[in-house]
Chains A and B, each alone.
Chain A
Amino acid sequence: MKRHLISAADLTRDDAVLILDTAEEMARVADRPIKKLPTLRGRTICNLFFEDSTRTRISFEAAEKRLSADVINFAAKGSSVSKGESLKDTAQTLEAMGVDAVVIRHSASGAPYRLATSGWIDAPVINAGDGTHQHPTQALLDAFTMRRRLIGPDAGLGQDLAGRRITLVGDVLHSRVARSNVDLLHTLGAEVTLVAPPTLVPVGVENWPCEVSYDLDAVLPKSDAVMMLRVQRERMNAAFFPTEREYSRRYGLDGERMARMPGHALVMHPGPMVRGMEITAEVADSDRCTVVEQVANGVSIRMAVLYLLLGGNEPALTHPRTEEK
C-alpha cells in the first residue's frame, strides 16, 4: 500500500473505479446549499506549484476547501529547474511546517516521483502534472466525464469503460495528458487511438497500450469520444509541422469532421483551447463538447483522490510501482 498518486499507470482497475465512484458521491456535495464536508478538518495541504497553472491549482484548492482542509498555496515559479535544490529545500520546509499532503506541479518530468521517494518528505504526494510525464487527476476527470456521458452518472457506478473507443488528437509527444489518459483508459478497458502528425508521436510509442494513426478522418467514425490535445504555438518554430493552417486542415476538429462522429460521441479538451487551430468555435461551443463539465468534474475527482488518500486511517489506493531501494 502506498500513499502517493504519481502516475495513472500506478492505479489498478479497482482503484480507478473506486475513485470514479467516490467522485460521484463528491459531485453531490456540489449540489448542496453548503458545499462542504468535514472530512479533512484539521489537515493542512500544500499546493506546491513550480509551474503556472491557475486552472489546476484552483481546482485542487476548491476540492481541498470543500473537504475542510487548511490550504497553503506555494507558487515557486521560475528558478526550480535552473537549480534543483529548491525542490528539496522547499519540501523539507513544508515537512517542518507539518504539512499533511503535497500537491505538486512541476515542469520537470519525475519531480513528484523524486519528492515521494527520495526521503525528503514523509507526506503523501499528489502529482498535479510533471513535465511531459503524467497528470493523473486530469486522466481521472476525463474518464469520469466519459463514464457519465457514455453510461450515465448512476448507471456508471462500479463500471469501467470496457470496449469504448477513445481517440486522442494532437501533440502526444509533449503531452502529460496523453500519457496519463492512455494508461488509465487502458486500465479501464477502453481502446485508445492516438492521432497526430508523426513528428508529434514519441519514439517508443509502440510499447504503449494503444493504436497510432496519422489519419483523423479514418478514426472519427469509430470513436465514442475524441479528445483534442493542446498544441503550443512554439512547436511550429521547432518544425514539428509546417504551418498552423496545415495542422488545422489535417488535425483540427471542425463541424464537418464532428459530423462524421457517431451521434453519441463526445468532444473533449483539457483546456485551454486554441480556437481556430485545434478546434473551431462551432465545435467548442456545441453540446457535444464537454470542456466545461470537465472543469466541474475535476473538482469532484480531486475531492475523491484527497479523501481516499487522506480521509481514512489507511490509504485506500494500492500503488504497484516499485519504490527505489
Chain B
Amino acid sequence: MSKILIRGARVLGGEPQDVLIDGEFIEAVGTGLSAEGAEVVEADGKILLPGLVDLHTHLREPGREDSETVLTGTRAAASGGYTSVFAMANTFPVADTAGVVEQVYRLGKEHGYCDVQPIGAVTVGLEGKKLAELGAMHESAAGVTVFSDDGKCVDDAVIMRRALEYVKAFGGVVAQHAQEPRLTEGAQMNEGVVSAELGLSGWPAVAEESIIARDVLLAEHVGSRVHICHLSTAGSVEIVRWAKSRGIDVTAEVTPHHLLLTDEMVRSYNPVYKVNPPLRTERDVLALREALADGTIDIVATDHAPHPHEDKDCEWAAAAMGMVGLETALSVVQRTMVDTGLLTWADVADRMSFAPARIGSAAGHGRPVSAGEPANLTLVDSAYRGEVDPAGFASRSRNTPYEGRELPGRVTHTFLRGRATLVDGKLA
C-alpha cells in the first residue's frame, strides 16, 4: 500500500505537524517529514483527530433497508469522520443471536468504509423477559462486547441485574436506554411547560433519572459496569456525577442534538424534532454541556436514527422517533463545545474517539496519533462555515433537524487503516 503524507495538520488541535502513513499504520509524526514516494494531503491549519468512534448508531440492516443499510450507513459514517461505529441491535430480526451479529459485522468488513461493531441485544427480541445468548454473541466472529435493548429499556430490575453480572465473564458492558415504561406510555415530548401548552403527552425527566439511579446502584451491588445511553436531563447528570464520586463503574453518553436543541423546537409540530429521549429544556442542555466538559458524561454518541421521508412527513403523533446524526455530529460538537470554549480539540478526540473506543473495546480505534499506531484518522476544516444541506447526505435517510442551519466545521478526509474513505469531502 502506498504512503500518504498529511502535511501541516494540527494534531489534536496542537501545533502543525506532518503525519506519514505507510500502509495501515502511522509511520512517523513530526515536522518537515519527507514527502518522497508519498501522496501528499495538504492540511494547513486543519485539525487532525483519531478516527471518530460512535458507540450508538442505527444501521437498520437487516430489516429496514429502506431507511439505511450497512453500506449507506457506513458511508455516512465515513463522511462524518468516523472509522468505527457500533450498530444497535433493534433490527428485524433483532440482533440477539450470533448469526445476526456476524452478518452485520461481515457487511461492514465487505463494504470497507468504516468498521462495524455490532451491539447485541440484552434480551431475546428486545422483549425484556429472557436474556439473549450474550456469551455466544461475544464468542462469534463479531466479538460483541456491548449489549443493549436500545429503543427499549431493560426495565425489569432482575433481568438488568443478571445481565450486568453475566457480562462480567467476558468484560462486556450493558448500555441502558433509560426509560421507565409506565411513566412514558404514549409520551410524545419532554413533559413540561411546552408539552402543557401543546397538548402533547409528556415524557418526564424522572422516567430517565429513576432508571439511571436504579442501574448505577445495581452496578455497584454486583460490581459490574454499566453504560447509560443518550443522557438527556440535568437530573441524570447529577445522578451519574454522584455515582462516579462513589466509585461506581458507570459511563455515559450524550447526543449532539441534546447538546444543541430544546423542546421549544416542538412548537413547530415538525416531527423532524421528534426523538427519544425527547429534546429537553435549555437548562438541561447547559447541564449536559457542562457535564461533557467536566467528564461526568464520557462521550458523544450520535444515536443516528434514519427514517424514510414518509415516516416524518405526517402529523407529530404518527411520526417515527429519531434523527440522523453521523454526518453532522462533529459540527454540532464544535458549535456547542469547542466554539464555546468548553472543550479543546484534544478533549474532542477523547470524547469522540479515545473514550468510546475504550468503553466498547474497539480494537485498533481510539489510539493516539503517533508512530506505530493504526492509521485511523480524521481531518477537520474547523474554519469552514456553511448551511446543512441534507441533499448531500450519504445516509439513505434525510431526517435531520439541521436542514438550512449554519454549522461550523467540515470533515475533509477520513482514513481507515491508511486507506482514504473520504477525500476533500467526497467519499472515496
Residues of A near any B CB (own CB < 8 A): 80-85, 87-88, 106-111, 113-114, 117-118, 130-134, 176, 179, 202-208, 324-325
Contacts and interface: CB of A to CB of B under 8 A. Distances in A.
Contacts of A134: 199
A85 B309 CA distance: 10
Nearest to B191: A203
A133 B188 CA distance: 13
B268 to A, nearest CB: 4
Contact of A108 (B202, B268, B310, B316): B316
Contacts of B200: 109-110, 131-133
Contacts of A113: 269
A83 B310 CA distance: 9
B197 to A, nearest CB: 7
B196 to A, nearest CB: 3
A176 to B, nearest CB: 6
Contacts of A132: 199-201
Nearest to B266: A110
B194 interface: yes
* Interface magnitude class on chain B: 20 to 34
17 contacts: A81-B315, A84-B310, A84-B314, A84-B315, A84-B318, A109-B188, A109-B200, A109-B269, A109-B316, A111-B317, A131-B317, A133-B198, A203-B192, A203-B204, A204-B191, A204-B202, A206-B193
Interface of B: 188, 191-202, 204, 268-270, 310, 313-319, 404
Given A81-B318, A85-B314, A179 B270 contact: no
Contacts of A202: 195-196, 202
Given A109-B200, A179-B199, A207-B197, A114 B192 contact: no
B316 A208 contact: no
Nearest to B318: A84
B199 A203 contact: no
Given A88-B313, A114-B269, A324-B270, A109 B191 contact: no
By Cβ-Cβ distance, the 7 closest A-B pairs, closest first, are A84-B314, A84-B318, A204-B196, A133-B199, A110-B269, A132-B199, A108-B317
Contacts of B316: 108-111, 114
Contacts of A133: 198-200
Contacts of A85: 310, 313-314
A81 B315 CA distance: 8
Given A203-B192, A203-B204, A204-B191, A130 B314 contact: no
A117 B195 CA distance: 20
Contacts of B198: 109-110, 133
A15 to B, nearest CB: 19
Nearest to A134: B199
A137 B285 CA distance: 37
Contact of B199 (A83, A131, A206): A131
B313 to A, nearest CB: 6
A325 B191 CA distance: 25
A179 B197 contact: yes
A82 B204 contact: no
Residue from B197, B199, B314 whose CB has the most chain A CB atoms within 10 Å:
B199
Contacts of A208: 196-197
A324 to B, nearest CB: 4
A104 B319 CA distance: 19
Contacts of B193: 204, 206-207
A114 B315 contact: yes
B318 A109 contact: no
B214 to A, nearest CB: 22
A206 B317 CA distance: 25
Given A176-B199, A179-B197, 13 more contacts: A80-B315, A84-B313, A84-B318, A88-B313, A110-B198, A118-B313, A130-B199, A132-B199, A133-B198, A179-B199, A203-B204, A204-B195, A207-B196
B202 A110 contact: no
A297 B195 CA distance: 31
A320 to B, nearest CB: 13
- Choose among B198, B200, B204 the residue with the greatest number of A CB atoms under 10 Å from its CB: B198
B204 to A, nearest CB: 7
A81 B319 CA distance: 9
B44 to A, nearest CB: 36
B428 to A, nearest CB: 35
Given A110-B198, A204-B192, A204-B193, A87 B315 contact: yes
A107 to B, nearest CB: 8
